[in-house]
Structure 1
Amino acid sequence: MTTVFPSPVAVDGSSRDDVVLRVGADPGSVRWGTLPARGDEPLATVASGAVVVFDTLSHEGILEDQGRDPIAFFGAQGVAPDDVLDDAIRVASVGDHPAGSGPHVVSRPIAVEGARAGDWLRVDVLRLTPRVPYGVISNRHGKGVLADELPRGGTTVSVFARATERDGQLYGVIDRTGPDAVAAYRAATKGSHLGVVTDPRGASDALMFLLHPFLGIMGVTPNTDEHLNTVPPGDFGGNLDINLLTEGTSLYLPVQVDGAGFTVGDPHFVQGNGEVSLTALEASLTAELRLTVVPHDRFVADFGELSGPLVETPRYWVPTGRSHDLDVALRRCVREAISLLETRAGMDEAHAYAYLSAAVDFDISEAVDVNLGVHACIPKDDLTRR
């Protein structure tokens, strides 16, 4: 199979001249299923404002219900062994995946000089590049919005997707019907063949959709000695699954422990709001991120007293809220939005509340990760228009 994407890095290991560190996804550089905890030794320490390159690894194709054998799993979909990532093979082979933990492969913590608990860490998403031209969308029994209905039969369904470039745009390609990747893998291990996903070049039975790569997990180390499951997001960030966090955006995270202990993972080619079947189009990315400490007082002066992550895009300020209860998540997001408007736009709470009701969309980030997420898109132009 021919990879259609450009190399994410130059020969010297970076596509930029200000990169100070590259973090791979080998077993010694990642955690599988759990987040970093207070007291963990950082993988490295960087200065505030440093650019770090992360080779992130998707968990899809290496999990136990997919055989924990990415060469065989992806091979059943026509992927050549040479097109399976070496780190996927190594992590699947020797990685420690604790029973009952989450599925995600995340980086060990990166400390940022000068970060103190109470400060904020600004993460600028500079570049996101696919590492492979394929990925997987999964639905597992007991999970997803229709957990009591799908998948039928109670077995994991993993839909394989290829990626292709057309007229300068990246697209995902899936078949409209047919066996899923888990069924194909199981058939292949028994010596039979169920077919592979349609070649993307003009096949009438394929469905194509635009890709918008982003990282599902970006977070700081939680203030606990427990290595938390990677699935539920929190005020520390983590598995936020906010699909707005594409290239050219920023994420502000409230620092929980000195040094921040930044971690990243769960790379996505694209995801719909809600992430209803359980996963996005999960696929490995190389991410170039800038990590900058924002002192507490400066953040409060700019944005108010927020409790959880804030997203900035070229068009929107995006406050967030999370809870096991979607109604509570919405209320928390509304409160964060009011606080932001009081500080950023000089509004009182009554007028901020009215404006939010009239002009701002509140969207479900994800409805499948134990703590459900809501985010609000406040147009920047509204706050400066005269």
Structure 2
Amino acid sequence: MLESARLGAHAGRGRRRRPAPRRRGAAGDAARGAARAPRAHAATGGLPMRRIATIAAVLALVLGAGLYALAQQQVDEAKRERVVSVAGVKYHVLPATLETTQWGWLDPKEPPKLVINSGDIVAIETMMHAHNRIQPGTTMDELVALRKANPGGGPHSVTGPIYVNGAEPGDTMEIRIRKIVPKAFGTNFHLPGKEFPTVGLLAPEFPNGFVRYFYLDWERRQAEYKPGIVIDLQPFPGIIATGPDPNEPKEKAGPPIRDAKGRTSTLRPWKNGSNMDLNELQEGTTLFLPVFHKGALIWTGDSHCRQGNGEVNLTALECAYREIVIQPIVRKDLKIEWPQVETATHWIVMGFDEDLDEAMKIAVRNGIKFLSEQQKLVPLSRDEAYSLMSIVGDCRVTQVVDIRKGVHCMIPKSIFVKKS
């Protein structure tokens, strides 16, 4: 049986069947169509093409609805309130995304990205400049293109605004900086002086531009500048701002302060803070800013990991933060006109103007006002305050590269001793 089966199989494979003669004309075409039809139905499970088209349309509709639902879930997730309560204090998280950051402008009409109460704590993530487009390997040509891509606006990415319930124009916003944790890299650069002759203190002397990237070792709190040079990291926010001052004076130099949309450029510092670049504003310090808009509207960005007073070449050790943790507190009992800072050892007053001498005068006047009107430890006349500023006030150049130059004067707390 097995042998005959094998032989039969071989015999079957050995015969070749002649194809049926092809019919010509309409009858032949009809016959061929009839012969093909069963095969077409077999390939589609026996369903006619019209029904297949209907099913495909229904499937597309269902799939589209599913994708829409998924998109809605993603939007809802982005809007999800990220807050926990610990010992009666609310902790919020504000991530840096394209929806929660703006590139180079402060807009009081920008919808709040977070609404908090006075005394709540917020962990804020920040981006590198130009909506995170500056990364290790970004070339000088690319840096130049990014600088030109946002005319009039700053290069800074700012996260916010944060709306603080109860804050009203005329109040003071006390912002306690509780913690700063940088991300893994930083950069310093100056743009080509031949294209940007006013950007940087000595821009014409450095025509070609320069950029360098650094790994930030936060465990050691150090960065290697080059072999043989190590920099200790001292992070601070270059920008913390409340909503812009609607009465900010017209620019004396540089591009317009506001654009056609009414947004205020982050290029300059002013009474609401913004691009102050004060290197004393580190973890553990407290910043006081006047409030110009309902809800205060707090932004932060232009994150720095080290900067010398002056910031002479244009940039500091620019970086971004995994988190900067702040605690905003509405102060209705305190009225100030310019930013003030309190550290563990000093009170700091500030002044900004396109003319460095004028910035110095503003800072000294603010120091006199603080000593003669604001501090309550020892009463001082205005003349005494002026004298004391000359003896102990340590006035320093904050920066000279933000169009409006900055001066900050440090008043040591140690001079105030307890009465016997």
Q: TM-score, normalised by structure 2?
A: 0.69
Partner of 1:160: 213
The reply to whether residue 172 of structure 1 matches residue 223 of structure 2 is yes
Residue 58 (structure 1) aligns with: 128
Does the residue aligned with 1:46 lie in a helix, a strand or coil? strand
Q: 1:21 Cα shift?
A: 1.9
Partners of 1:30 and 1:371 in 2: CA distance: 24
Higher helix share: 2
Structure 1's 235 and 223: CA in aligned 2 closer, same or farther, altered over 3 A? closer
Does the CA contact (< 8 Å) of 2:84 and 2:91 recur in 1? no
SS of 1:261's partner is: strand
Q: Please state if 1:307 is matched with 2:377.
A: no
1:73 alignment partner, one of 104, 129, 138: 138
Say whether residues 1:135 and 2:186 are aligned partners. yes
- Residues 339 and 350 in structure 2, CA contact (< 8 A), matched pair in contact too: yes
Give runs of aligned pairs for residues 36-51 of structure 1, distance below 5 A: 36-37=107-108, 39-51=109-121
Aligned twin of 1:282: 318
Are 2:197 and 1:126 equivalent residues in the alignment?
Answer: no
Of 90, 99, 105 in structure 2, the residue corresponding to residue 34 of structure 1 is: 105
Cα separation, partners in 2 of 1:14 and 1:158, compared to 1, 3 Å: farther
Distance 2:243 2:134 in 1: 30
- Checking the alignment, whether the CA contact within 8 Å between 1:61 and 1:73 is kept in structure 2 is no
Q: Cα gap change, 1:338/1:161 in structure 2, threshold over 3 Å: closer, same or farther?
A: same
Contact between 1:120 and 1:255, CA under 8 Å: does it hold in 2?
A: yes
- Matched letter for residue 174 of structure 1: Y
Q: How does 1:139-154 map to 2 (within 5 A)?
A: 139-140=190-191, 141=193, 142=197, 143-150=199-206, 152-153=207-208
State the aligned residue count.
Answer: 309
Q: Percent identity?
A: 30
Is 1:318–2:371 an aligned residue pair? no
Output the CA distance in 2 between the equivalents of 1:261 and 1:212: 26
- Look up the match of 1:217: 239
Deviations 1:216-255 (A, max 9, x none): 1001011447211111010010011111111100000000
Structure 2's unaligned 5+ residue stretches are: 1-81, 247-260
Q: How far apart are the structure 2 equivalents of 1:20 and 1:171?
A: 29
Instruction: Give me the whole-angstrom Cα distance separating, in 1, the residues matched to 2:117 and 2:357.
Output: 40
1:59-111 residue CA offsets vs partner (Å, 9 max, x unmatched)? 1795xxxxx4737539x9xxxxxxxxxxxxxxx99xxx633311000013111
Flag the 1:71–1:318 CA change in 2: closer, same or farther, 3 A. Answer: closer
Distance 1:226 1:20 in 2: 32
Q: What letter corresponds to residue 293 of structure 1 in structure 2?
A: V
CA contact (8 A) 1:162 1:174 kept: no
In structure 2, what is the Cα distance between the partners aligned to 1:215 and 1:246?
Answer: 8
Larger Rg over CA atoms: 2
Counterpart residue identity of residue 325, structure 2:
E
Query: Structure 1 residues 137 and 20 mapped into 2: Cα distance closer, same or farther (>3 Å)?
Result: same
Q: Classify the secondary structure of the residue corresponding to 2:106.
A: coil
Q: Which amino acid aligns with 2:287?
A: L
Find the aligned partners of 1:60 and 1:161 in 2 and give their Cα distance. 18
Which residue matches 1:102? Answer: 154
Secondary structure at the counterpart of residue 302 of structure 2: strand
Inter-partner Cα distance in structure 2 for 1:160 and 1:149: 22
Give the secondary-structure state (helix, strand or coil) at the position aligned to 1:27: coil
Cα RMSD for the two superposed structures: 2.6
Q: 1:84-99 alignment to 2 at 5 Å?
A: 98-99=150-151
Q: Following TM superposition, by how much is the alpha carbon of 1:383 offset from its aligned partner in structure 2, in angstroms?
A: 2.6
Is the Cα contact below 8 Å between 1:324 and 1:371 reproduced in 2? yes
Q: Which moved more, 1:376-385 or 1:240-249?
A: 376-385
Question: Does residue 265 of structure 2 align to residue 232 of structure 1?
Answer: no
Please list every run of 5 or more consecutive structure 1 residues that lacks an aligned counterpart in the other structure: 1-12, 63-67, 77-91, 176-204, 301-305
Query: What is the DSSP-based 3-state SS (H/G/I as helix, E as strand, rest coil) of the residue aligned with 2:264?
Result: coil
The 2-side partners of 1:15 and 1:55 are apart by: 17
Change (3 A) 1:57 1:19: farther
Q: In the alignment, what sits opposite 2:168?
A: 116
Q: Which amino acid aligns with 2:96?
A: A
Structure with the bigger RCO (C-alpha within 8 Å, sep 6+) is 1
TM-score normalised by L of structure 1: 0.75
Are the counterparts in 2 of residues 273 and 364 from structure 1 also a CA contact under 8 Å?
yes
Secondary structure, counterpart of 2:365 in structure 1 = helix
Residue of structure 2 in register with 1:89 after alignment: none
The residue identity in structure 1 corresponding to 2:334 is F
Q: Secondary structure at the match of 1:148?
A: helix
Q: Separation in 2 of the partners of 1:16 and 1:384?
A: 39
1:357 is aligned to 2:390: yes
Read off the aligned partner of 2:97 and give its amino acid letter.
Answer: D
Counterpart of 2:211, as a letter, is S
Instruction: Give the whole-Å Cα distance in 2 for the aligned partners of 1:210 and 1:266.
Output: 19
Query: Residue in 2 aligned with 1:269?
Result: 305
Report the counterpart of residue 256 of structure 1 in structure 2: 292
